Chains A and B, each alone.
Chain A
């Protein structure tokens, strides 16, 4: 999961929050962050190794920009 870092603005998330969620009355939602979700199917037995493998490729291939984005890599199933 790739999202903007905490201090970085997210106009898409803000627009969803304001124009969709709040307008329809769901006012207990205090914020929305939009991001990108990528599911990697990795041929690997060890979950830890799969995680570090994907983390490395995301960084090396600049799937995200470490200066502005946070990523979260976890095992889906």
Chain B
């Protein structure tokens, strides 16, 4: 987004003179939406920063937040989007997204242990969207595998709205001891050195953030913003930087990401009330660069380290040992100004704080006419005669079907931390590797259809689904980060979706007592004709697990065990996968967010899990009850018999409503027969509705009963075929 006339006036006022070209470029980079949150800052203040269950060690505003997982052990995690780069160059766009998010986690001295990718892709049968999907998955897989960090979980969605502009949201989880964390939080003092380590700076990625802050254009002119990932350098940076941090040699670490050197240095100086004197010609570069290019280049795999004079020799030794190129380009001072010299000439002299924090932009939010689609009950549809066929159709929808095609391209086991692998649990479960059996669960979720129909409830439901996915593994949810992908903030009809999504996340997070410790905003997700993609709120959550041996799978485990449902089912088919996959309708009120029921259901599941009274648990989400049962059967190879009349419900008139409603706050749990009294007692104590609805069988089929009759039967082989082969078939043609 180029600077507006008002911005330039403001810059003149700040400087008291005409800005130089270099200064203008610095302001353009830093004042872009991507770096400075000008259009979003006001709303983001609504997000809760604290929760009563969670010790937040580093909150919002840094490159990444940190929370305490166990005493002395912190988890660092962050989400980021690489939507625009991935639309232009899917392979490199997605790969550099991984690089960036890993470096964010490194800034707190943490060792990256897991990646997540939340991909919202176009119709796999559309050639262009198919090409994007393949490139994105390959880019993530190549980069992640080469730096040795497993991709353990994620979320995938296919929708023609993303044919031209996909949403590529990636998250990284890192682990760090609190002593190391404290050492990189010390911050700079006057006289400390600015050290840049990593790839030599080049002309690639000039003003990339500014590029991400405007709509895509249909041309080759965006070439300068294309960056190529270098996982080999990233791996060296990971090793070198974690060693420097662990030995307490860095007082602050920062990623050179969006906005390049300008953003990194102005934020550090402004946050610490300092100034800095930079000598741009001291920086190691790949080619001859002008001072302007050095200031705003977004070359990948570069980091800023703040080091004091006495630690410098040790830091240099480590960087040399790992063959990481570096240069010392300046020194902090008390001036409060960023003064950049190039070959002895002063090329920029700007106050750090004014550069780092541009004035907030007030944006108008107005609901578009199409938002009416999401506030009326869904149009009536005919109940399918063959419910088994309908269930299989929903199961084989690319949004539901197994994502094996994607995650098998990733190494999800490197580092031997992974306890619950993709496809076996509602969230990924990782162990700490300290011999204690302690661990964590992590998952990312969104539902673009919900948020496009009702951005407030849809975003709230994303938070709730992430919460349930963590709980279903037996983890205590601790905190979330959010990525809000929206359209053009200058258009009130787009901005309204953003406004509502933030409010939905803020509300549900407060209700569930989950702090939103960090996040990111991506605007301008529209195609060349100005149509916004489906606005999407992506949530990544982390939970604590005291004993990973007790982590719950989502697959049934034992014949004769009882199947119970937690929660009450309402006729909530609006925005459901069933209406879309079977009836081709995308409309209607989305399921109500139900925070109070969520808390009751979660406390029951967690209590049962801690007593070893459940064998598996699965969140009921997209595709409803029928899908949840089929998934739990397919991944275990076991069958089930379920009596639908036993399902606690209200207002349900037809079996398709019961089977496919996406009412929130529900789980399928598998309970050993001897644990039934415990289940009944705890459900009473917790005030949660639970009912036994059937049993696990070694029968090779899923039998559905109602009115004392068998109303449908789905063979396991047929279900497996639908679940496993639909996505490869949609993508490989």
Contact = CB atoms under 8 A, between A and B. Distances in A.
Interface of A: 4-5, 7-11, 14-15, 62, 65-68
Closest 6 CB pairs of A and B: A11-B230, A9-B228, A62-B131, A68-B89, A9-B204, A68-B226
Contact of A10 (B88, B89, B228, B232): B228
A61 to B, nearest CB: 9
Given A7-B203, A7-B204, A9-B227, A65 B233 contact: no
A63 to B, nearest CB: 10
B223 A11 contact: no
B413 interface: no
A11 B89 contact: no
Given A11-B230, A11-B233, A65-B89, A5 B202 contact: no
A7 B233 contact: no
Contacts of B127: 62
Interface of A is mostly: loop
B220 A67 contact: yes
Contact of A9 (B220, B222, B230, B231): B230
Contacts of A11: 228-233
Interface in B51-95: 88-92
Given A7-B203, A8-B204, A9-B204, A66 B220 contact: yes
Given A7-B204, A8-B204, A67 B232 contact: no
A77 to B, nearest CB: 31
Interface of B: 88-92, 127, 131, 135, 202-204, 220, 222-224, 226-233, 286, 299
B89 A67 contact: yes
Nearest to B131: A62
B225 to A, nearest CB: 10
A9 B202 contact: yes
Contacts of A67: 88-89, 220, 222-223, 226
28 contacts: A4-B228, A7-B223, A8-B204, A8-B223, A8-B226, A9-B204, A9-B227, A9-B230, A9-B286, A9-B299, A11-B228, A11-B231, A11-B232, A11-B233, A15-B232, A62-B131, A65-B89, A65-B90, A65-B91, A65-B135, A66-B220, A67-B220, A67-B222, A67-B226, A68-B89, A68-B223, A68-B226, A68-B228
Nearest to A69: B89
Contact of A68 (B92, B231, B299): B92
Given A9-B227, A68-B226, 10 more contacts: A5-B223, A7-B204, A7-B223, A9-B202, A10-B228, A65-B90, A66-B220, A67-B220, A67-B226, A68-B92
Contacts of B204: 7-9
Contacts of A68: 89, 92, 223, 226, 228
Contacts of A4: 228
Nearest to B226: A68
Nearest to B230: A11
A67 B93 CA distance: 12
Nearest to B206: A7
A62 B138 CA distance: 14
Nearest to A66: B220
A33 to B, nearest CB: 12
Contacts of A66: 220
Nearest to A5: B223
Nearest to A4: B228
A10 to B, nearest CB: 7
Contacts of A15: 232
A34 to B, nearest CB: 11
Nearest to B92: A68
Nearest to A9: B228
A11 B91 CA distance: 14
A41 B224 CA distance: 35
B302 to A, nearest CB: 13
Contacts of B88: 67
A15 B228 CA distance: 13
A75 to B, nearest CB: 27
B393 to A, nearest CB: 31
A59 to B, nearest CB: 12
A9 B205 CA distance: 10
B177 to A, nearest CB: 32
A17 to B, nearest CB: 12
A71 to B, nearest CB: 14
Contacts of B89: 65, 67-68
Nearest to B200: A14
Contacts of A5: 223
Contacts of B220: 66-67
Contacts of B131: 62
B133 to A, nearest CB: 12
B82 to A, nearest CB: 15
A34 B135 CA distance: 19
Contacts of B229: 11
Nearest to B87: A67
Nearest to B128: A62
B653 to A, nearest CB: 49
A8 B202 CA distance: 10
Contacts of A65: 89-91, 135
Contacts of A10: 228
B30 to A, nearest CB: 24
A66 B59 CA distance: 42
A10 B92 CA distance: 11
Contacts of B230: 9, 11, 14
Contacts of B286: 9
A50 B230 CA distance: 36
B652 to A, nearest CB: 48
Contacts of A8: 204, 223, 226, 228
